Structure 1
């Protein structure tokens, strides 16, 4: 056979072989991908415990694959066609799922007996009201598990969202716990939406909240610190941050939090739809004893009793139907919420006559509702929060600031219902609230509704759980052990809750009232 013919035959065979290899390789690859998609698209049962507490393997794999797929939708809002997109950062989720180490995935860390008995462990607890020793031993940018309802993973939010300023008041906070709050925000917040994080130091006495904190913050993006040279308290410190803020939306956080997956878009979308809507995230628990990140529950409405203690009411049946949709909430817990900056200042910000902390959540909630706004909770926005065992920071120079704060709020916003507060807190009737003329003037200017309207239209079922006029008590006051300064205390539990011992209210700075 001629050489030219042999070469031609070899060339033809080679080309056919290459075509066959490409064909079978492509077919095999498509088959594998389709099988993987079949596995990934398998629905998670609504009440499957794994789906609430831990992303299963299929969901984790899906998050890695979805980076290749653009999901979007179009909706009509006020006659405008707006685009919605998937805001999840799947690369970040994959990185966090791969992390190993102490406290990763929001897993609690148990100290050894030797550590628990050490002087350092006990000292850090006394200074902070939580086990800061544990905080010192877990990463500043640790991962937390995604404990949102599984349906939150499929939610789309408006593609065009405004910038946010996050304001964090700081007073003698544990440094690593504060920094972990900042790192969680930087790691889990879309960069295009985060305008800034503003730390406002309320004249802290701890040395590491001065030079060391400043040095650390200098190396962080979009984070700055403002130092106050005189103690102002949480409320006025927040106002300093709000005046500094450049973002369109203000978000107020405490200094011991960790945000969860995709927390921001569901928190601020309702504000875009109606600028007079303020939004609270679901508040999860970072356990004070071991820093485990766990769910508090799957939703409740904020309220109060007539002793002005914060309470929670069950969701109404229609509110419980959707695990992902925002629902109306009478009263915020106070520490964590988002509000349009323009609306915040239209409402006059916080009452500057409120000292330290306490009562501000009622003032802000009442005037949001009574002055034409709306307050909602966003179930798909979750933020973990440390509830201290005790408050290690005093407000001693301000005296009984809690009673004074509550008196101001009641006198300005609660109309005739203030009498129920005074009747329940005998000493409050004689408390001087200070000058409230500016607050009353603001209420008149904004043409705010009555508190009766609030009770009938917003907190309509509160009296069923916390009646304004209780049955006459057999006795009131305190039952005290004089040797220990402990009193019998119901701890504001329900009708059948077990009571125990607690520090006597009348012995604590800033506290007063009946114990039982």
Structure 2
């Protein structure tokens, strides 16, 4: 079951569907009050071959920890699961629930697997409440999660809100508290947690919203604004990059992204994803779509991060004309504006003249590699093509051979001459 689900499905089946979880909100959250006239929301859960008990626990926690007058309905999007339990037993649960609360749970079943991105959009299309919450079906909601989110969206409908995430350990199902974080990405467009900006720390209020450059994945949005801003990019495939693209697009096109410390949700970080065995190729393709539409002159950074040529990379990213037209219609700002004003922590690489792998001319299976972090000495190692061996040659006041990874060593010209003599640039990609 662990291999099938990416988490301990055997244990999940033996846990209560209504189990208590620790209240991990900052202390000040318990003293906040909210308006009585908050908008209703639809909660969308998407899944493919999820454990039945995990889905039920997600639904139970949503019902138990969301005020009933704020939760209009729940939409379940089954992305063509082949798990028998998710056919009959789940349908029986939905039917029984709807006998007591007609139309409360809606089922959307895909005839073929569409992937996480288009599944989220399918759920949005089935939603009818003014606000839509788009989540994976392996979460557990904490107390008081909904009110702070709905208040922020009620105040400004162009805000897209993420809760603060805690971790449900995939092997023990224990709740692990995560520190308060913003959400960002690297140049491969893999999402990552960030320290909140200095301005948030200086504010001294741990209940205050955290400005966030991007989204990890699950988020809450005004239903109509989501359509106006362009939904998710349905030209992307399977999984990955859509959350980064949404965050970039919202900021560049006049909206904002926030993480709320008082809205906490526990989420299973699987040991492996169920969508496809070749997840990396889809993430790479999706990242290139984002680069070509939204990143202007900085799109080269994405190509460098994936170590592929900018011209004729041999990757079909599909038609992006509609996404470019969307950007023009929304009169969005430049990506440079985004980096300067929203994501200044993101490292920029100027005057790059080449990138690729440094390979030994005498022994072709050896490449320049990152040495131990503690002494920053480059080493020769068997060629593997992973990020520690992917280099960029940059032109500064002195020529530097710089690793593309921010934590890797910087090699001055003398280092190149004295320590790696006998190496030649090979498979280097030279932009025109």
TM-score (norm 1): 0.66
Counterpart in the other structure of 1:365? 247
What whole-Å deviation, never above 9, does each CA across 1:115-167 have from its counterpart, x for those lacking one?
A: xxxxxxxxx11111111111011111111111111111101112211010111
Q: Following the alignment from structure 2 to structure 1, what is the Cα–Cα distance between the partners of residues 40 and 351? A: 46
Counterpart in the other structure of 1:120? none
For the aligned residue pairs, the C-alpha RMSD in angstroms reads: 2.6
Q: Is 1:327 the equivalent of 2:210? A: yes
CA 1:242 to 1:428, structure 2 compared with 1: closer, same or farther past 3 Å? Answer: farther
CA contact (8 A) 1:403 1:428 kept: no
| Equivalent in 419, 442, 445 of residue 326 of structure 2 | 442
CA deviation after TM superposition for structure 1 residue 313, in Å: 2.5
Counterpart in the other structure of 1:388? 270
CA contact (8 A) 2:115 2:237 kept: yes
Q: Following the alignment from structure 2 to structure 1, what is the Cα–Cα distance between the partners of residues 155 and 228? A: 18
CA contact (8 A) 1:163 1:193 kept: yes
Q: Following the alignment from structure 1 to structure 2, what is the Cα–Cα distance between the partners of residues 493 and 437? A: 32
Q: Tell me the matched-pair count.
A: 362
Counterpart in the other structure of 1:202? 79
CA 1:427 to 1:272, structure 2 compared with 1: closer, same or farther past 3 Å? Answer: same
CA 1:277 to 1:468, structure 2 compared with 1: closer, same or farther past 3 Å? Answer: farther
Q: Is 1:178 the equivalent of 2:55? A: yes
CA contact (8 A) 2:11 2:172 kept: yes
CA deviation after TM superposition for structure 1 residue 310, in Å: 1.8
CA deviation after TM superposition for structure 1 residue 186, in Å: 0.5
Counterpart in the other structure of 1:224? 106
CA 1:313 to 1:468, structure 2 compared with 1: closer, same or farther past 3 Å? Answer: farther
What whole-Å deviation, never above 9, does each CA across 1:304-330 have from its counterpart, x for those lacking one?
A: 222222233322233122110112100
More helix by share: 1
1:133 is paired with a residue whose SS is helix
CA contact (8 A) 2:38 2:151 kept: yes
1:137 is paired with a residue whose SS is coil
1:319 is paired with a residue whose SS is helix
Q: Following the alignment from structure 2 to structure 1, what is the Cα–Cα distance between the partners of residues 350 and 277? A: 30
Q: Is 1:237 the equivalent of 2:119? A: yes
| Equivalent in 307, 311, 315 of residue 188 of structure 2 | 307
CA contact (8 A) 2:304 2:355 kept: no
Instruction: Could you tell me which runs of 5 or more consecutive residues in structure 2 were left unpaired when the two chains were aligned.
Output: 360-366, 370-383, 389-403, 409-432
CA 1:488 to 1:433, structure 2 compared with 1: closer, same or farther past 3 Å? Answer: closer
Q: Following the alignment from structure 1 to structure 2, what is the Cα–Cα distance between the partners of residues 209 and 469? A: 54
CA 1:148 to 1:467, structure 2 compared with 1: closer, same or farther past 3 Å? Answer: farther
| Equivalent in 55, 66, 72 of residue 189 of structure 1 | 66
CA 1:243 to 1:472, structure 2 compared with 1: closer, same or farther past 3 Å? Answer: closer
Q: How does 1:156-171 map to 2 (within 5 A)?
A: 156-171=33-48
CA 1:478 to 1:385, structure 2 compared with 1: closer, same or farther past 3 Å? Answer: farther
CA deviation after TM superposition for structure 1 residue 191, in Å: 0.5
CA deviation after TM superposition for structure 1 residue 428, in Å: 6.3
Counterpart in the other structure of 1:341? 223
Counterpart in the other structure of 2:234? 352
What whole-Å deviation, never above 9, does each CA across 1:278-314 have from its counterpart, x for those lacking one?
A: 11000110011100112111x2222222222223332
Structure 1 segments of 4+ aligned residues over 4 angstroms from their partners: 466-479, 486-490
Q: Following the alignment from structure 1 to structure 2, what is the Cα–Cα distance between the partners of residues 146 and 185? A: 15
Instruction: Could you tell me which runs of 5 or more consecutive residues in structure 1 were left unpaired when the two chains were aligned.
Output: 1-123, 480-485, 497-516
Q: Following the alignment from structure 1 to structure 2, what is the Cα–Cα distance between the partners of residues 469 and 216? A: 59
CA contact (8 A) 1:126 1:392 kept: no
CA deviation after TM superposition for structure 1 residue 395, in Å: 6.2
